[in-house]
Amino acid sequence: MPSVLELEPKSMSVKPLHPTFGAEICGIDFSKPIADDVFQDIRRASAKYGVLVLRNTGMDDRQHVEFSRRFGDLDDIKPYLVQGRKLRYDYYELFDAGNLDEDGSILTPDAPRSQYNKGNGLFHVDSSFNPRRASYSILRAVVLPPPETGGNTDFADTRTAFEELPEDLKKTLLEKDYIAAHSLHHSRKTAAPEFFKDLDPTTFKMSRHKLVQPHEPSGRMNLYIAAHAHHVEGLPAGQSAELLKTLMEHATQPKYTVSIPWKSPGDVIIWDNTAVMHRAGKFSGGYLRDMRRTTVHDASATAWGLNTEGDKKQGFLIDTKGISSQAATAVV
């Protein structure tokens, strides 16, 4: 029986975007319900390519959420709606990945949420800092600024990066079976050290996931690493930091990365967080950019990592004065 990587989708055309991963999918009519066989082809393509680009889907919020739900259980933002914060739209399953405040105005560069969002510019995977990690993220453009302002989304192929590690390092990683501790506080402080100068990530609980693990949909091994990775358990601090630095630099080399532009409202990018990293590309700002994302809870055997199933997800509270000592919930 052929593996999922040998199967070619029959219901759509596939245009590879990179020699090892990423593809643009054409030929699907999103104005009507997606047939089961077409959806299964999308799943197969995702298993092979890790990142799928769908242009001009015409999806609205409802269609976005309903389509995403077919991939699995969805995360929601209810825990993050603190201090009277309100949604700009009607679906709790949609995470606000744009640059608008709740009243629809563009965030200023010094706004707390702008400082928090700097972490999105680091290569990461969604929700590795949570006890139950994410599988798919499905990001849709609602309003886009002029193309010359930038704002691509960049991706890194962590499966191929693992396969092409130096043999001695790969052998060590497999033998040691390291566990990495992931922290949202760590990545936010890394990206905005001055704003978060009083934040100590080590005072908060971290989520634990194996550094190398199988990617179930493809059967390939994956380097599960991210800017959220604070340390490797069992290693001295200096050695841990050096290993994480080495692996991140290796996995984000140009030969393992692709930068995908957003062309039109309705464009959608689907990526598998258990096979790739991503980051928000540089954006010159000053223009409205409305992006909305659904996040699918992982259902694989390694979804909960080394964490207690049912644990609450991580996060912290930011108010207009900065970070709160309560550290209870995150602004997203």
pLDDT in tens, 228-267: 999 999 999 999 999 999 999 999 999 999 999 999 999 9
Cβ-contact 272, 50 below 8 angstroms:
yes
What is the set of domains in the chain, with CATH numbers?
13-323 (3.60.130.10)
Residue 2 has pLDDT above 90, yes or no: no
pLDDT on residue 331? 41
Tell me the pLDDT band of 84, cut-offs 50, 70 and 90.
low
Structure pTM?
0.92
204 or 7: whose pLDDT is higher? 204
Lowest mean pLDDT among 58-72, 78-92, 125-139, 278-292: 78-92
